[in-house]
Amino acid sequence: MRTIDFSPLYRSTVGFDRMFSMLDNMTSPEPAQTYPPYNIELTGENSYRITMAIAGFGEDDLSIEAKENTLTIKGELDNGEDSDANEVLFRGIAGRAFERRFQLADHVEVRDASLENGLLHIDLVREIPDAMKPRKIAITAGAKLVEGKVAAKAKK
């Protein structure tokens, strides 16, 4: 597999280092993570939901952390007391520890997290600051008022 060297772009760009780092991480060979399975849904114009299937995990077994545009979800079961209660003949429900990371775009915030029926729902909202929202600019007429009269344009 080919690798791309982004170092020449670092010299001529300002503020894009995060994007180049993400591109570099995407091209690096990593084993594909398949556990736990998840969905990413668009629930509104600026709202999203991540749903993860985490059967067997409780609220105390999970941790969710948002830091520097990265959402990290960790799960670790405490198999202390009940592990000796019954002998398991076949284990089809994966109860292994996991860590899943999601890169969040700028201005995306985690609003809520809930656990129901073995599904973890994490609601995200993109809130663009007012200074970055498009705004309408009023257009003024070319003629100017001077003491209540329209000033004539000077001719050369």
Fold exhibited by the domain 36-130? Immunoglobulin-like (2.60.40)
DSSP string, 76-113: ----SSGGGTS--S---S----EEEEEEPPTTEEEEEE
Asked whether 124 and 110 are in contact (CB, 8 A), the reply is yes
Q: CA-to-CA distance for 78 and 124, rounded, in angstroms? A: 28
Count how many Cα atoms sit within 13 Å of the Cα of residue 57 in the half-sphere of its side chain: 24
- List Cβ neighbours of 90 (8 Å cut-off, separation of 6 or more): none
User: Which helix (H) or strand (E) covers residue 121, if one does?
Assistant: strand 119-126
74-122 pLDDT, tens digit each: 999 876 555 557 787 887 877 789 999 998 888 899 999 999 999 999 9
Q: CA-to-CA distance for 10 and 8, rounded, in angstroms? A: 5
| Residue at token pair 């600051």 | 129
- In the chain, where the domains are located: 1-30, 36-130
| Residue at token pair 């556990």 | 35
11-62 pLDDT, tens digit each: 666 666 667 666 666 655 556 677 889 999 999 888 999 999 998 898 999 9
pLDDT computed for residue 100 by the predictor: 92
List the one residue out of 9, 52, 40, 23 whose CA is nearest residue 124. Answer: 40
Beta strands in 18-90 (DSSP E): 38-42, 47-53, 62-67, 70-75
Cis peptide before 36 (omega within 30 of 0): yes
pLDDT mean over 146-152: 61
User: Model-level pTM?
Assistant: 0.64
